[in-house]
Amino acid sequence: MNQQSPRLPDSPMIDLQGVTKEFLKPSGEVHTVLRNINLRVAKGEFCSIVGPTGCGKSTTLSLIAGFEAPSLGKVQIKGEKLEGINSRASCVFQTENAFPWKTVIDNVSLGLRLNGTSKNDAFQEARRWIEKVGLKGFEGHYPHQLSGGMRKRVALAQCLITQPEILLMDESFSALDVHTRHLMENELLKIWEETSASVFFITHDLEEAIALSDRVIVLTAGPAATIKGDYRINLERPRNVAEIRFDKQFAELHEQIWNDLRDEVMVSYASANNA
């Protein structure tokens, strides 16, 4: 059963209207990645997006971030048409966010330094964030001296210090082991609950999507992927992501969404095998 998303206020934080994205293949053919995507994410909403590999999740994210422009349709942020880079967003990537040639504190304070904050103020604020993500004492370390989980904490602090209204996350935790991942997910939820940022969270892991989100979007298999399902997750907050998986309601939601997702994964798998 697809639940309709409730009425949103007039200008949602993210608003994709009839968005289609095409790429020109080297062979000269046009490759349609996304077709007619209509998606609204409200202010403060935690929205996850799942779908088979290669369906266009990262592409959707680059449209919202403003790295790419849509081929058709438009991207609106808070009711304004997005031109160029989205200044209200920051992004935690799957691989690295931290600049290897900068220390932790230089990395975290970068966003403030770029917009002209004095070094003193920026460092003071950075220290606060470093402490918040549990990295106190590592200010002077370089990223390669940190573990993968610690680098993700740096990435979070770096992204959140500028108080973005939109937090984009592209499989940010998928490289972490399961315990670190739960820890990071809980921390993300905690920090997010203190802010009013909208989160656009890409993941392969349906459980992760349900555990974290207010809403889970299922994309169809590519090419020309579009939205297949839009599920509201009304689990109680605050949540503990490690434990919420045992909740009865969680299992029901999981089954429901998985039914949708499974078909798409099969399609994607079949076309990959035929290729």
Partner 1 sequence: MQVQTTLNTQEEIETRKKEMRIRASKIKIRNLSLQIIVFIAIFGSWEFFSDKNIIDPFFFSSPSSIVKQIVEWVIEGTSQGPLYVHFVVSFEETVIAFVIGVILGVIAGYALGMNDLLAVIFGPYIQMLNALPRVVLAPIFIIWFGLGMPSKVALGVTLTFFIVFFNAFQGVREVDKNLLNNARLLGANKRQLAQHVIIPSALTWILSSLHSSFGFALVGAVVGEFIGSTKGLGFLIAQAQGAFNTTGVFAGMVLLSVTALAANWAVSKLETRFIAWRHVRQ
Ligand X SMILES: Nc1ncnc2c1ncn2[C@@H]1O[C@H](COP(=O)(O)OP(=O)(O)OP(=O)(O)O)[C@@H](O)[C@H]1O
Using the rule CB under 8 A, is 171 a contact of partner 1? no
Residue recorded with tokens 């409730």 = 6
Kindly state the smallest distance separating residue 165's Cβ from partner 1, in Å: 12
Kindly state the smallest distance separating residue 50's Cβ from ligand X, in Å: 9
In contact, 64 and 86? CB cutoff 8 Å: yes
In contact, 168 and 188? CB cutoff 8 Å: no
Query: Candidates 56-64, 113-121, 186-194, 257-265 — which segment interacts with ligand X by CB under 6 A?
Result: 56-64
Could you give the count of Cα atoms lying within 13 Å of 56 in the half-sphere of its Cβ?
29
- Cα(224)–Cα(262) distance, rounded to whole angstroms? 18
The one-letter amino acid at 218: V
Footprint of partner 1 on 123-142 (CB under 8 A): 142
Strands 14-24 and 72-77: antiparallel
| Contact pattern from residue 196 through residue 235 relative to ligand X, giving x for each residue in contact according to CB under 6 A and a dash for the rest | --------------------------x-------------
Query: Candidates 55-63, 81-89, 102-110, 158-166 — which segment interacts with Mg ion by CB under 5 A?
Result: 55-63
Query: Candidates 47-55, 112-120, 257-265, 266-274 — which segment interacts with ligand X by CB under 6 A?
Result: 47-55
In contact, 65 and 198? CB cutoff 8 Å: no
Using the rule CB under 5 A, is 58 a contact of Mg ion? yes
In contact, 60 and 27? CB cutoff 8 Å: no
Using the rule CB under 6 A, is 259 a contact of ligand X? no
Q: Which of 224, 252, 195 is nearest to 32 (CA)?
A: 224
Q: For residue 71, report the phi and psi dihedrals to the nearest 5 degrees.
A: -75, -35
Q: Please enumerate in sequence order all residues whose Cβ is within 8 A of that of 97, keeping only pairs 6 or more positions apart, or say none.
A: 91, 107, 151, 154, 155, 158, 159
Query: Candidates 37-45, 57-65, 74-82, 225-233 — which segment interacts with Mg ion by CB under 5 A?
Result: 57-65
Using the rule CB under 5 A, is 62 a contact of Mg ion? no
Binding ligand X (rule: CB under 6 A), the pick from 33, 89, 166, 217 is 33
Using the rule CB under 6 A, is 143 a contact of ligand X? no
Binding-site ranges for ligand X (CB under 6 A): 23, 31, 33, 51, 53-59, 222
Binding-site ranges for partner 1 (CB under 8 A): 65, 67, 85-87, 89-91, 93, 95-97, 99-103, 110-111, 114-115, 142, 144-145, 158-159, 162
